[in-house]
Homo-oligomer: A and B are copies of this chain.
């Protein structure tokens, strides 16, 4: 149910359209939860049926009409009870690791290439760190309570450390594979 709660969380900052929710999601939650707009619209429907949201159409002449979603008291209650619920452990789910696991089934060079691509991908992620911080500051100016940014920064810091760890691991594993190959040669 995390997508629903993510949307509730964003709507707790202010009313938005599905389109805006999608964009805000991409700018923030996307780092640890991905959602397509098609699914967002479907979930919004379901949430409105639950009574967590209400929506009204805003007529526009120059642009398409907007359907603006607004969180209800029931929605805020649901968000709160989800936030205050017990900790449940998460897990990594990454097909890349599966490919490494079965590395013995293809030439070692191929795995080394894969590791390099993985390291580069995370290096790129590290490179966008400044933009992320700018984004957080920009959003912090928009909401009434700038203290929220503390928590946003915590997740950004996690993302940074994750990328660092991945890079380091991939580099170390590549070196190790290279040494193995050289010894066998």
Please give the residue numbers on chain A whose beta carbons come within 8 Å of chain B beta carbons, in ascending order.
2, 5-6, 9, 12, 28-29, 31-34, 79-80, 82-84, 87-106, 110-111, 113-114, 117-118, 121, 145, 147-148, 150-152, 154-155, 157-159, 161-162, 165, 168-169, 173, 176-177, 180
Contact = CB atoms under 8 A, between A and B. Distances in A.
A90 B84 contact: no
Nearest to A92: B32
Could you say how many copies of this chain the assembly holds? 2
7 contacts: A28-B101, A33-B93, A83-B103, A87-B96, A87-B121, A101-B154, A157-B173
A12 B102 CA distance: 10
The main secondary structure of chain A at its interface with chain B is: helix
Given A94-B90, A114-B87, A103 B154 contact: yes
